[in-house]
Structure 1
Amino acid sequence: MKEFDFYKLQEMLITIAAQAGLKILSALVLWLLGRWLINLVQRLIRAGLVQKKLDPTLLRYVHSIVSITLNILLVVGILGYFGMQTTSFAALFATAGIAIGAAWAGLLSNFAAGVFLIVLRPFKVGDVITAGGVTGIVKEIGIFSSIINTADHIVTTIGNNKILSDNIQNYSSSEFRRVDLKCQLSSDTDPEAAMQLLREKISAIPNVLNDPAIEVNILEFNLVGPVLAVRPYCLNAEYWAVYFEVNRIMAKVLTEAGFPTPVASHNMIVKQS
Protein backbone atom coordinates (compact mmCIF):
# COMPACT_ATOMS: atom_id res chain seq x y z
CA MET A 1 0.00 0.00 0.00
CA LYS A 2 1.36 3.36 -1.03
CA GLU A 3 2.16 5.75 1.81
CA PHE A 4 0.41 9.13 1.92
CA ASP A 5 2.81 11.92 0.87
CA PHE A 6 2.26 14.86 3.24
CA TYR A 7 4.92 16.92 1.52
CA LYS A 8 3.07 16.81 -1.81
CA LEU A 9 -0.16 17.74 -0.05
CA GLN A 10 1.59 20.64 1.64
CA GLU A 11 3.02 21.78 -1.67
CA MET A 12 -0.39 21.53 -3.33
CA LEU A 13 -2.07 23.54 -0.56
CA ILE A 14 0.64 26.20 -0.72
CA THR A 15 0.24 26.42 -4.51
CA ILE A 16 -3.56 26.73 -4.24
CA ALA A 17 -3.26 29.34 -1.47
CA ALA A 18 -0.70 31.30 -3.49
CA GLN A 19 -2.91 31.25 -6.57
CA ALA A 20 -5.99 32.24 -4.54
CA GLY A 21 -4.03 34.99 -2.80
CA LEU A 22 -2.76 36.24 -6.14
CA LYS A 23 -6.32 36.25 -7.51
CA ILE A 24 -7.63 38.14 -4.48
CA LEU A 25 -4.74 40.61 -4.63
CA SER A 26 -5.34 41.12 -8.35
CA ALA A 27 -9.06 41.60 -7.76
CA LEU A 28 -8.30 44.19 -5.08
CA VAL A 29 -5.94 46.02 -7.44
CA LEU A 30 -8.59 45.90 -10.17
CA TRP A 31 -11.19 47.26 -7.76
CA LEU A 32 -8.97 50.13 -6.62
CA LEU A 33 -7.91 50.91 -10.17
CA GLY A 34 -11.50 50.69 -11.37
CA ARG A 35 -12.73 52.99 -8.63
CA TRP A 36 -10.00 55.47 -9.47
CA LEU A 37 -10.97 55.39 -13.15
CA ILE A 38 -14.68 55.78 -12.25
CA ASN A 39 -13.92 58.82 -10.10
CA LEU A 40 -11.76 60.23 -12.90
CA VAL A 41 -14.54 59.74 -15.47
CA GLN A 42 -17.08 61.32 -13.11
CA ARG A 43 -14.83 64.33 -12.54
CA LEU A 44 -14.29 64.75 -16.29
CA ILE A 45 -18.00 64.50 -17.02
CA ARG A 46 -18.83 66.90 -14.19
CA ALA A 47 -16.22 69.40 -15.39
CA GLY A 48 -17.58 69.22 -18.93
CA LEU A 49 -21.19 69.70 -17.81
CA VAL A 50 -20.27 72.54 -15.45
CA GLN A 51 -18.38 74.22 -18.27
CA LYS A 52 -21.56 74.08 -20.33
CA LYS A 53 -23.40 75.67 -17.36
CA LEU A 54 -25.74 72.74 -16.98
CA ASP A 55 -28.45 72.97 -14.34
CA PRO A 56 -27.25 71.55 -10.95
CA THR A 57 -30.33 69.33 -10.78
CA LEU A 58 -29.53 67.59 -14.08
CA LEU A 59 -25.86 67.50 -13.10
CA ARG A 60 -26.56 65.42 -9.98
CA TYR A 61 -28.94 63.18 -11.88
CA VAL A 62 -26.37 62.39 -14.59
CA HIS A 63 -23.70 61.87 -11.90
CA SER A 64 -25.87 59.27 -10.12
CA ILE A 65 -26.66 57.34 -13.31
CA VAL A 66 -23.03 57.28 -14.47
CA SER A 67 -21.83 56.17 -11.01
CA ILE A 68 -24.29 53.28 -10.75
CA THR A 69 -23.65 52.07 -14.32
CA LEU A 70 -19.85 52.13 -14.05
CA ASN A 71 -19.85 50.41 -10.65
CA ILE A 72 -22.03 47.59 -12.00
CA LEU A 73 -19.68 47.16 -14.97
CA LEU A 74 -16.70 47.08 -12.60
CA VAL A 75 -18.25 44.32 -10.46
CA VAL A 76 -19.14 42.28 -13.57
CA GLY A 77 -15.57 42.69 -14.84
CA ILE A 78 -14.03 41.50 -11.57
CA LEU A 79 -16.34 38.49 -11.48
CA GLY A 80 -15.30 37.70 -15.04
CA TYR A 81 -11.67 37.85 -13.96
CA PHE A 82 -12.42 35.13 -11.40
CA GLY A 83 -13.73 32.92 -14.18
CA MET A 84 -17.45 33.48 -13.81
CA GLN A 85 -19.44 33.61 -17.04
CA THR A 86 -20.29 37.30 -17.29
CA THR A 87 -22.89 36.67 -19.98
CA SER A 88 -24.73 34.31 -17.66
CA PHE A 89 -24.29 36.79 -14.82
CA ALA A 90 -25.64 39.62 -16.97
CA ALA A 91 -28.66 37.48 -17.93
CA LEU A 92 -29.18 36.56 -14.29
CA PHE A 93 -28.87 40.20 -13.27
CA ALA A 94 -31.38 41.25 -15.93
CA THR A 95 -33.81 38.51 -14.86
CA ALA A 96 -33.42 39.48 -11.22
CA GLY A 97 -33.93 43.10 -12.20
CA ILE A 98 -37.20 42.25 -13.94
CA ALA A 99 -38.38 40.20 -10.97
CA ILE A 100 -37.46 42.90 -8.51
CA GLY A 101 -39.01 45.53 -10.77
CA ALA A 102 -42.26 43.59 -10.92
CA ALA A 103 -42.27 43.18 -7.14
CA TRP A 104 -41.25 46.77 -6.52
CA ALA A 105 -43.38 48.59 -9.04
CA GLY A 106 -43.24 51.66 -6.83
CA LEU A 107 -39.48 51.85 -7.28
CA LEU A 108 -39.85 51.91 -11.06
CA SER A 109 -42.58 54.53 -10.85
CA ASN A 110 -40.29 56.67 -8.70
CA PHE A 111 -37.55 56.29 -11.33
CA ALA A 112 -39.93 57.29 -14.14
CA ALA A 113 -41.18 60.23 -12.07
CA GLY A 114 -37.57 61.30 -11.49
CA VAL A 115 -37.00 61.39 -15.25
CA PHE A 116 -40.11 63.54 -15.73
CA LEU A 117 -39.02 65.90 -12.95
CA ILE A 118 -35.74 66.43 -14.79
CA VAL A 119 -37.44 66.92 -18.16
CA LEU A 120 -40.38 69.06 -17.03
CA ARG A 121 -38.34 70.95 -14.39
CA PRO A 122 -41.14 72.20 -12.11
CA PHE A 123 -38.37 73.05 -9.64
CA LYS A 124 -34.60 72.84 -9.28
CA VAL A 125 -32.06 72.40 -6.50
CA GLY A 126 -32.16 75.40 -4.18
CA ASP A 127 -35.83 76.27 -4.77
CA VAL A 128 -38.27 76.60 -1.88
CA ILE A 129 -41.24 74.38 -2.63
CA THR A 130 -44.18 72.52 -1.15
CA ALA A 131 -44.38 69.00 -2.58
CA GLY A 132 -45.70 65.74 -1.19
CA GLY A 133 -46.99 67.62 1.85
CA VAL A 134 -43.51 68.93 2.76
CA THR A 135 -42.28 72.54 2.55
CA GLY A 136 -38.59 73.40 2.40
CA ILE A 137 -35.49 73.90 0.27
CA VAL A 138 -34.75 71.31 -2.41
CA LYS A 139 -31.33 69.81 -1.66
CA GLU A 140 -31.25 67.00 -4.20
CA ILE A 141 -33.34 65.46 -6.98
CA GLY A 142 -32.27 61.83 -7.08
CA ILE A 143 -33.05 58.90 -9.34
CA PHE A 144 -35.76 57.49 -7.08
CA SER A 145 -36.35 60.18 -4.47
CA SER A 146 -35.71 63.83 -3.73
CA ILE A 147 -34.43 65.49 -0.56
CA ILE A 148 -36.06 68.57 0.98
CA ASN A 149 -34.63 70.42 3.96
CA THR A 150 -37.52 71.89 5.98
CA ALA A 151 -37.52 75.21 7.82
CA ASP A 152 -36.76 73.44 11.11
CA HIS A 153 -33.75 71.72 9.43
CA ILE A 154 -35.25 68.25 9.09
CA VAL A 155 -33.88 66.46 6.04
CA THR A 156 -36.89 64.79 4.42
CA THR A 157 -36.67 62.22 1.63
CA ILE A 158 -39.75 61.95 -0.61
CA GLY A 159 -40.40 59.47 -3.42
CA ASN A 160 -40.41 61.18 -6.81
CA ASN A 161 -43.72 59.56 -7.72
CA LYS A 162 -45.42 61.14 -4.70
CA ILE A 163 -44.01 64.53 -5.66
CA LEU A 164 -45.10 64.30 -9.30
CA SER A 165 -48.57 62.92 -8.49
CA ASP A 166 -49.34 65.76 -6.05
CA ASN A 167 -49.58 69.53 -6.38
CA ILE A 168 -46.22 71.31 -6.49
CA GLN A 169 -45.91 74.87 -5.21
CA ASN A 170 -42.67 76.61 -6.17
CA TYR A 171 -42.17 79.76 -4.10
CA SER A 172 -38.86 80.57 -5.80
CA SER A 173 -40.35 80.89 -9.28
CA SER A 174 -41.31 84.49 -8.44
CA GLU A 175 -39.08 87.15 -6.90
CA PHE A 176 -41.56 87.99 -4.15
CA ARG A 177 -44.51 86.46 -2.29
CA ARG A 178 -47.43 87.61 -0.19
CA VAL A 179 -47.65 87.20 3.58
CA ASP A 180 -51.22 86.39 4.60
CA LEU A 181 -52.15 87.47 8.13
CA LYS A 182 -55.32 88.32 10.04
CA CYS A 183 -55.96 91.04 12.59
CA GLN A 184 -58.91 90.80 14.98
CA LEU A 185 -60.54 94.11 15.94
CA SER A 186 -63.03 94.93 18.63
CA SER A 187 -66.59 95.81 17.63
CA ASP A 188 -65.98 99.22 19.25
CA THR A 189 -63.06 99.95 16.90
CA ASP A 190 -63.33 102.17 13.84
CA PRO A 191 -62.07 99.72 11.15
CA GLU A 192 -61.19 102.48 8.67
CA ALA A 193 -58.90 104.21 11.17
CA ALA A 194 -57.29 100.90 12.13
CA MET A 195 -56.73 99.93 8.49
CA GLN A 196 -55.15 103.28 7.63
CA LEU A 197 -52.84 103.10 10.66
CA LEU A 198 -51.73 99.55 9.83
CA ARG A 199 -51.04 100.45 6.20
CA GLU A 200 -48.77 103.31 7.26
CA LYS A 201 -46.84 101.39 9.92
CA ILE A 202 -46.43 98.10 8.06
CA SER A 203 -45.39 99.85 4.83
CA ALA A 204 -42.51 101.40 6.80
CA ILE A 205 -41.01 97.98 7.61
CA PRO A 206 -37.71 97.79 5.64
CA ASN A 207 -38.33 94.34 4.10
CA VAL A 208 -41.91 95.08 2.98
CA LEU A 209 -42.22 95.94 -0.72
CA ASN A 210 -44.02 99.08 -1.86
CA ASP A 211 -44.87 97.49 -5.20
CA PRO A 212 -47.15 95.55 -4.97
CA ALA A 213 -48.65 97.70 -2.24
CA ILE A 214 -49.74 96.26 1.09
CA GLU A 215 -53.36 95.11 1.28
CA VAL A 216 -55.37 95.79 4.45
CA ASN A 217 -59.09 95.20 4.15
CA ILE A 218 -62.01 93.79 6.10
CA LEU A 219 -62.05 90.05 5.56
CA GLU A 220 -65.02 88.98 7.68
CA PHE A 221 -67.02 89.63 10.85
CA ASN A 222 -67.39 87.46 13.93
CA LEU A 223 -68.88 87.83 17.41
CA VAL A 224 -65.87 89.86 18.59
CA GLY A 225 -65.82 92.33 15.71
CA PRO A 226 -64.36 92.83 12.24
CA VAL A 227 -61.39 90.70 11.10
CA LEU A 228 -58.84 92.41 8.86
CA ALA A 229 -56.86 90.71 6.11
CA VAL A 230 -53.31 92.06 6.34
CA ARG A 231 -51.27 91.13 3.25
CA PRO A 232 -47.84 92.70 2.72
CA TYR A 233 -45.46 91.55 -0.03
CA CYS A 234 -41.78 90.77 0.45
CA LEU A 235 -38.84 88.96 -1.15
CA ASN A 236 -38.79 85.18 -0.75
CA ALA A 237 -35.75 85.26 1.53
CA GLU A 238 -37.43 87.76 3.88
CA TYR A 239 -40.75 85.91 4.28
CA TRP A 240 -40.47 84.76 7.90
CA ALA A 241 -38.76 87.97 9.03
CA VAL A 242 -41.68 89.99 7.63
CA TYR A 243 -44.24 87.49 8.98
CA PHE A 244 -43.11 87.88 12.59
CA GLU A 245 -42.38 91.61 12.34
CA VAL A 246 -45.86 92.41 10.99
CA ASN A 247 -47.45 90.45 13.84
CA ARG A 248 -45.36 92.44 16.32
CA ILE A 249 -46.26 95.76 14.68
CA MET A 250 -49.99 94.98 14.66
CA ALA A 251 -50.00 94.21 18.39
CA LYS A 252 -47.87 97.24 19.28
CA VAL A 253 -49.48 99.88 17.05
CA LEU A 254 -53.10 99.11 17.89
CA THR A 255 -52.36 99.10 21.61
CA GLU A 256 -50.40 102.36 21.50
CA ALA A 257 -53.16 104.04 19.44
CA GLY A 258 -55.65 103.24 22.19
CA PHE A 259 -57.86 100.86 20.23
CA PRO A 260 -59.90 98.62 22.55
CA THR A 261 -58.67 95.07 23.03
CA PRO A 262 -60.92 92.55 21.24
CA VAL A 263 -62.59 90.35 23.85
CA ALA A 264 -65.11 87.60 23.19
CA SER A 265 -68.30 88.21 25.12
CA HIS A 266 -71.67 86.54 25.37
CA ASN A 267 -74.95 88.04 26.44
CA MET A 268 -77.00 85.79 28.70
CA ILE A 269 -80.72 86.33 29.20
CA VAL A 270 -82.18 84.64 32.22
CA LYS A 271 -85.95 84.25 32.31
CA GLN A 272 -87.73 83.50 35.52
CA SER A 273 -90.93 81.61 35.26
Structure 2
Amino acid sequence: MNFDVNALTTELITKGTSIGLKLLGALALWIIGGWVAGMAVRLVRKGMDSRKLDATIARYVESALGVLLKVVLVVAILGYFGLETTSFAAVLAAAGIAIGTAWSGMLSHYAAGIFMVVLRPFKVGDSVTAGGVSGTVEEIGLFTTTINTGDNVRTFVGNNKIFSDTIQNFSANPHRRVLLEAQLAHGDDHRAAIKTLQEKLAQIPNVKQTPAPDVFIQNFTLAGPVLAVRPCCHNDHFGQVSADTNLAIRESGFSVPETHSRVISAVPAPASRAA
Protein backbone atom coordinates (compact mmCIF):
# COMPACT_ATOMS: atom_id res chain seq x y z
CA MET A 1 0.00 0.00 0.00
CA ASN A 2 1.48 3.27 -1.13
CA PHE A 3 1.48 6.06 1.42
CA ASP A 4 1.68 9.61 0.04
CA VAL A 5 3.31 11.66 2.76
CA ASN A 6 3.13 14.87 0.80
CA ALA A 7 -0.62 14.52 0.18
CA LEU A 8 -1.24 13.76 3.86
CA THR A 9 0.86 16.72 4.93
CA THR A 10 -0.99 19.00 2.52
CA GLU A 11 -4.37 17.77 3.76
CA LEU A 12 -3.37 18.26 7.43
CA ILE A 13 -2.11 21.76 6.70
CA THR A 14 -5.32 22.60 4.84
CA LYS A 15 -7.60 21.28 7.58
CA GLY A 16 -5.45 22.76 10.34
CA THR A 17 -5.52 26.14 8.62
CA SER A 18 -9.31 25.92 8.22
CA ILE A 19 -9.83 24.96 11.86
CA GLY A 20 -7.39 27.62 13.04
CA LEU A 21 -9.17 30.31 11.01
CA LYS A 22 -12.50 29.19 12.43
CA LEU A 23 -11.12 29.32 15.97
CA LEU A 24 -9.74 32.78 15.37
CA GLY A 25 -13.05 33.82 13.87
CA ALA A 26 -14.93 32.40 16.86
CA LEU A 27 -12.57 34.22 19.24
CA ALA A 28 -13.05 37.45 17.33
CA LEU A 29 -16.82 36.90 17.35
CA TRP A 30 -16.75 36.28 21.10
CA ILE A 31 -14.71 39.43 21.78
CA ILE A 32 -16.67 41.67 19.42
CA GLY A 33 -20.00 40.16 20.43
CA GLY A 34 -19.16 40.55 24.10
CA TRP A 35 -18.24 44.17 23.49
CA VAL A 36 -21.50 44.79 21.60
CA ALA A 37 -23.51 43.04 24.33
CA GLY A 38 -21.80 45.11 27.00
CA MET A 39 -22.48 48.27 25.01
CA ALA A 40 -26.14 47.31 24.66
CA VAL A 41 -26.43 46.70 28.39
CA ARG A 42 -24.79 50.06 29.15
CA LEU A 43 -27.14 51.86 26.76
CA VAL A 44 -30.15 50.24 28.37
CA ARG A 45 -28.77 51.17 31.79
CA LYS A 46 -28.31 54.80 30.73
CA GLY A 47 -31.82 54.85 29.30
CA MET A 48 -33.26 53.55 32.56
CA ASP A 49 -31.17 56.01 34.57
CA SER A 50 -32.31 58.93 32.41
CA ARG A 51 -35.92 57.94 32.97
CA LYS A 52 -35.15 57.56 36.69
CA LEU A 53 -36.40 54.00 36.74
CA ASP A 54 -36.35 52.35 40.13
CA ALA A 55 -32.89 50.95 40.89
CA THR A 56 -34.27 47.53 41.86
CA ILE A 57 -36.04 47.02 38.53
CA ALA A 58 -33.13 48.54 36.60
CA ARG A 59 -30.59 46.14 38.12
CA TYR A 60 -32.86 43.16 37.49
CA VAL A 61 -33.48 44.12 33.83
CA GLU A 62 -29.76 44.75 33.34
CA SER A 63 -28.88 41.31 34.74
CA ALA A 64 -31.53 39.53 32.67
CA LEU A 65 -30.49 41.32 29.46
CA GLY A 66 -26.84 40.46 30.02
CA VAL A 67 -27.63 36.75 30.41
CA LEU A 68 -29.91 36.75 27.34
CA LEU A 69 -27.31 38.42 25.12
CA LYS A 70 -24.64 35.94 26.22
CA VAL A 71 -26.92 33.03 25.32
CA VAL A 72 -27.56 34.57 21.88
CA LEU A 73 -23.81 35.04 21.40
CA VAL A 74 -23.09 31.39 22.25
CA VAL A 75 -25.78 30.21 19.80
CA ALA A 76 -24.28 32.46 17.10
CA ILE A 77 -20.79 31.03 17.66
CA LEU A 78 -22.15 27.48 17.46
CA GLY A 79 -23.86 28.41 14.19
CA TYR A 80 -20.56 29.80 12.91
CA PHE A 81 -18.98 26.38 13.49
CA GLY A 82 -21.67 24.81 11.33
CA LEU A 83 -24.05 23.58 14.02
CA GLU A 84 -27.60 24.29 12.92
CA THR A 85 -29.19 26.62 15.42
CA THR A 86 -32.56 24.97 14.87
CA SER A 87 -31.04 21.60 15.75
CA PHE A 88 -29.31 23.19 18.72
CA ALA A 89 -32.62 24.65 19.88
CA ALA A 90 -34.28 21.25 19.51
CA VAL A 91 -31.54 19.54 21.50
CA LEU A 92 -31.69 22.27 24.13
CA ALA A 93 -35.46 21.91 24.37
CA ALA A 94 -35.16 18.14 24.70
CA ALA A 95 -32.55 18.51 27.42
CA GLY A 96 -34.56 21.26 29.08
CA ILE A 97 -36.79 18.82 30.93
CA ALA A 98 -33.88 16.93 32.42
CA ILE A 99 -31.98 20.11 33.20
CA GLY A 100 -35.10 21.70 34.66
CA THR A 101 -35.67 18.69 36.91
CA ALA A 102 -32.05 18.66 38.06
CA TRP A 103 -31.98 22.42 38.50
CA SER A 104 -35.44 22.91 39.92
CA GLY A 105 -33.83 24.87 42.74
CA MET A 106 -32.39 27.34 40.22
CA LEU A 107 -35.83 27.80 38.67
CA SER A 108 -37.33 28.43 42.10
CA HIS A 109 -34.66 31.10 42.72
CA TYR A 110 -35.52 32.67 39.35
CA ALA A 111 -39.26 32.70 40.11
CA ALA A 112 -38.63 34.11 43.59
CA GLY A 113 -36.55 36.91 42.07
CA ILE A 114 -39.44 37.88 39.79
CA PHE A 115 -41.87 37.89 42.71
CA MET A 116 -39.53 40.06 44.78
CA VAL A 117 -39.22 42.59 41.96
CA VAL A 118 -43.02 42.67 41.54
CA LEU A 119 -44.11 42.55 45.20
CA ARG A 120 -41.26 44.79 46.44
CA PRO A 121 -40.63 43.60 50.02
CA PHE A 122 -37.43 45.65 49.71
CA LYS A 123 -35.48 47.57 47.09
CA VAL A 124 -31.85 48.28 46.30
CA GLY A 125 -30.33 50.40 49.06
CA ASP A 126 -32.66 49.16 51.82
CA SER A 127 -31.25 47.85 55.10
CA VAL A 128 -32.73 44.40 55.69
CA THR A 129 -32.44 41.06 57.39
CA ALA A 130 -33.28 38.46 54.75
CA GLY A 131 -32.37 34.80 54.46
CA GLY A 132 -30.54 35.04 57.77
CA VAL A 133 -28.24 37.83 56.50
CA SER A 134 -28.35 41.45 57.70
CA GLY A 135 -27.04 44.33 55.62
CA THR A 136 -27.74 46.69 52.74
CA VAL A 137 -29.25 45.35 49.51
CA GLU A 138 -26.84 45.87 46.62
CA GLU A 139 -28.62 44.01 43.82
CA ILE A 140 -31.54 41.65 43.17
CA GLY A 141 -30.25 39.29 40.48
CA LEU A 142 -31.83 36.49 38.45
CA PHE A 143 -30.98 33.82 41.01
CA THR A 144 -29.35 35.55 43.97
CA THR A 145 -29.62 38.78 45.94
CA THR A 146 -26.42 40.61 46.85
CA ILE A 147 -26.25 42.03 50.38
CA ASN A 148 -23.36 44.01 51.87
CA THR A 149 -23.21 43.19 55.58
CA GLY A 150 -22.34 45.62 58.34
CA ASP A 151 -18.73 44.42 58.43
CA ASN A 152 -18.45 45.10 54.66
CA VAL A 153 -18.70 41.51 53.42
CA ARG A 154 -20.51 41.02 50.11
CA THR A 155 -22.92 38.10 50.58
CA PHE A 156 -24.95 36.31 47.92
CA VAL A 157 -28.22 34.78 49.12
CA GLY A 158 -30.50 32.60 46.99
CA ASN A 159 -33.72 34.40 46.06
CA ASN A 160 -35.90 31.45 47.09
CA LYS A 161 -34.25 31.30 50.52
CA ILE A 162 -35.08 34.98 51.02
CA PHE A 163 -38.62 34.81 49.65
CA SER A 164 -39.53 31.71 51.67
CA ASP A 165 -38.13 33.14 54.92
CA THR A 166 -38.97 36.10 57.13
CA ILE A 167 -37.88 39.47 55.73
CA GLN A 168 -37.21 42.46 57.97
CA ASN A 169 -36.95 45.80 56.16
CA PHE A 170 -35.47 48.45 58.45
CA SER A 171 -35.70 51.18 55.81
CA ALA A 172 -39.41 50.84 54.97
CA ASN A 173 -40.70 53.02 57.83
CA PRO A 174 -39.72 56.67 58.29
CA HIS A 175 -38.06 56.02 61.65
CA ARG A 176 -36.63 53.17 63.71
CA ARG A 177 -36.77 52.82 67.49
CA VAL A 178 -33.65 52.15 69.54
CA LEU A 179 -34.43 49.69 72.36
CA LEU A 180 -32.06 50.01 75.33
CA GLU A 181 -32.29 49.55 79.10
CA ALA A 182 -30.87 51.37 82.12
CA GLN A 183 -30.52 49.52 85.41
CA LEU A 184 -31.17 51.64 88.52
CA ALA A 185 -30.37 50.85 92.12
CA HIS A 186 -33.12 50.66 94.73
CA GLY A 187 -31.91 53.93 96.28
CA ASP A 188 -32.04 55.96 93.02
CA ASP A 189 -34.86 58.42 92.40
CA HIS A 190 -36.48 56.96 89.27
CA ARG A 191 -38.33 60.22 88.48
CA ALA A 192 -35.10 62.21 88.49
CA ALA A 193 -33.40 59.50 86.39
CA ILE A 194 -36.20 59.58 83.80
CA LYS A 195 -36.03 63.39 83.58
CA THR A 196 -32.23 63.34 83.24
CA LEU A 197 -32.30 60.76 80.46
CA GLN A 198 -35.04 62.61 78.57
CA GLU A 199 -32.94 65.79 78.64
CA LYS A 200 -29.82 63.95 77.47
CA LEU A 201 -31.70 62.15 74.67
CA ALA A 202 -32.99 65.48 73.35
CA GLN A 203 -29.36 66.63 72.91
CA ILE A 204 -28.22 63.58 70.92
CA PRO A 205 -27.81 64.36 67.19
CA ASN A 206 -30.31 62.76 64.78
CA VAL A 207 -32.78 61.77 67.52
CA LYS A 208 -36.30 62.54 66.32
CA GLN A 209 -38.50 64.65 68.54
CA THR A 210 -41.62 63.30 66.85
CA PRO A 211 -42.24 60.72 68.12
CA ALA A 212 -40.58 61.86 71.31
CA PRO A 213 -38.10 59.57 73.09
CA ASP A 214 -39.68 57.26 75.66
CA VAL A 215 -38.18 56.63 79.10
CA PHE A 216 -40.21 54.60 81.60
CA ILE A 217 -39.94 51.81 84.16
CA GLN A 218 -40.04 48.55 82.25
CA ASN A 219 -39.58 45.96 85.02
CA PHE A 220 -37.88 45.25 88.31
CA THR A 221 -34.90 43.10 89.21
CA LEU A 222 -33.20 42.22 92.47
CA ALA A 223 -30.83 45.15 91.85
CA GLY A 224 -33.64 47.68 91.38
CA PRO A 225 -35.96 49.11 88.71
CA VAL A 226 -35.04 48.86 85.01
CA LEU A 227 -35.77 51.83 82.73
CA ALA A 228 -36.65 51.36 79.07
CA VAL A 229 -34.81 53.99 77.00
CA ARG A 230 -36.28 54.32 73.51
CA PRO A 231 -35.29 57.20 71.21
CA CYS A 232 -36.32 57.17 67.53
CA CYS A 233 -34.16 57.98 64.51
CA HIS A 234 -33.78 57.31 60.81
CA ASN A 235 -32.31 53.90 60.04
CA ASP A 236 -29.16 55.52 58.57
CA HIS A 237 -28.34 56.93 62.02
CA PHE A 238 -29.32 53.88 64.08
CA GLY A 239 -25.77 52.86 65.03
CA GLN A 240 -24.75 56.40 66.00
CA VAL A 241 -27.90 57.06 68.06
CA SER A 242 -27.62 53.68 69.78
CA ALA A 243 -23.98 54.32 70.76
CA ASP A 244 -24.70 57.88 71.95
CA THR A 245 -27.68 56.68 73.99
CA ASN A 246 -25.53 54.08 75.75
CA LEU A 247 -23.04 56.84 76.53
CA ALA A 248 -25.83 59.05 77.89
CA ILE A 249 -26.98 56.24 80.17
CA ARG A 250 -23.43 55.70 81.40
CA GLU A 251 -22.90 59.42 82.12
CA SER A 252 -26.24 60.05 83.84
CA GLY A 253 -24.77 59.61 87.33
CA PHE A 254 -26.72 56.57 88.46
CA SER A 255 -25.27 54.63 91.35
CA VAL A 256 -23.88 51.20 90.60
CA PRO A 257 -26.58 48.62 91.41
CA GLU A 258 -25.60 46.00 93.95
CA THR A 259 -27.18 42.72 94.86
CA HIS A 260 -26.61 41.09 98.21
CA SER A 261 -27.03 37.46 99.08
CA ARG A 262 -27.18 35.88 102.52
CA VAL A 263 -26.26 32.26 102.97
CA ILE A 264 -27.65 30.49 106.02
CA SER A 265 -26.08 27.20 106.86
CA ALA A 266 -28.11 25.05 109.22
CA VAL A 267 -25.91 22.77 111.32
CA PRO A 268 -27.83 19.82 112.73
CA ALA A 269 -27.63 19.26 116.48
CA PRO A 270 -25.38 16.38 117.54
CA ALA A 271 -27.22 13.16 118.08
CA SER A 272 -27.73 12.22 121.75
CA ARG A 273 -25.62 9.37 122.97
CA ALA A 274 -27.15 6.38 124.41
CA ALA A 275 -26.87 6.19 128.16
Instruction: Answer whether TM exceeds 0.5 for this pair.
Output: yes
Distance in 2 between residues matched to 1:201 and 1:4, nearest whole Å: 101
| Deviations, residues 72-107 of structure 1 (Å, cap 9, x unaligned) | 111111111211232222222233332122122221
- The residue type paired with residue 229 of structure 2 is V
Distance in 1 between residues matched to 2:259 and 2:96, nearest whole Å: 65
| Deviations, residues 153-191 of structure 1 (Å, cap 9, x unaligned) | 122211111211122221112232111001111112221
Counterparts in 2 of 1:260 and 1:14: CA distance versus 1, 3 Å: closer
Distance in 1 between residues matched to 2:93 and 2:63, nearest whole Å: 20
1:186 aligns with: 185
Alignment of 1:219-230 (within 5 A): 219-230=218-229
Q: Which moved more, 1:184-193 or 1:222-231?
A: 184-193
RMSD of the TM alignment (CA)? 1.7
2:23 aligns with: 24
Identity of aligned residues (%): 50
2:34 aligns with: 35
**1:209: how far off?**
1.8
2:243 aligns with: 244
1:172 aligns with: 171
2:124 aligns with: 125
1:267 aligns with: 262
Distance in 2 between residues matched to 1:110 and 1:22, nearest whole Å: 41
1:111 aligns with: 110
- The residue type paired with residue 172 of structure 1 is S
Distance in 1 between residues matched to 2:39 and 2:205, nearest whole Å: 49
Which runs of no fewer than 5 residues in structure 1 stay unpaired? none
1:65 aligns with: 64
**1:272: how far off?**
4.5
Counterparts in 2 of 1:96 and 1:266: CA distance versus 1, 3 Å: farther
Q: Which moved more, 1:17-26 or 1:112-121?
A: 17-26
| Deviations, residues 232-269 of structure 1 (Å, cap 9, x unaligned) | 11222211111111111111112xxxx43112222333
Distance in 1 between residues matched to 2:42 and 2:200, nearest whole Å: 54
- The residue type paired with residue 218 of structure 2 is L
Which runs of no fewer than 5 residues in structure 2 stay unpaired? 269-275
- The residue type paired with residue 88 of structure 1 is S
2:272 aligns with: none
Distance in 1 between residues matched to 2:194 and 2:125, nearest whole Å: 37
Distance in 1 between residues matched to 2:136 and 2:229, nearest whole Å: 26
2:271 aligns with: none
Alignment of 1:66-145 (within 5 A): 66-145=65-144
**1:113: how far off?**
0.5
Distance in 2 between residues matched to 1:271 and 1:199, nearest whole Å: 49
Distance in 2 between residues matched to 1:29 and 1:132, nearest whole Å: 42
1:10 aligns with: 9
Distance in 2 between residues matched to 1:152 and 1:86, nearest whole Å: 48
| Deviations, residues 107-150 of structure 1 (Å, cap 9, x unaligned) | 11111110001001111111111112221111111111101111
- The residue type paired with residue 234 of structure 1 is C
Distance in 1 between residues matched to 2:43 and 2:255, nearest whole Å: 69
Distance in 2 between residues matched to 1:100 and 1:262, nearest whole Å: 65
| Deviations, residues 204-251 of structure 1 (Å, cap 9, x unaligned) | 212222221110001011111111100011222211111111111111
Counterparts in 2 of 1:25 and 1:260: CA distance versus 1, 3 Å: closer
Distance in 2 between residues matched to 1:51 and 1:7, nearest whole Å: 65
**1:11: how far off?**
1.7
TM-score normalized with structure 2 length: 0.91
- The residue type paired with residue 126 of structure 2 is D
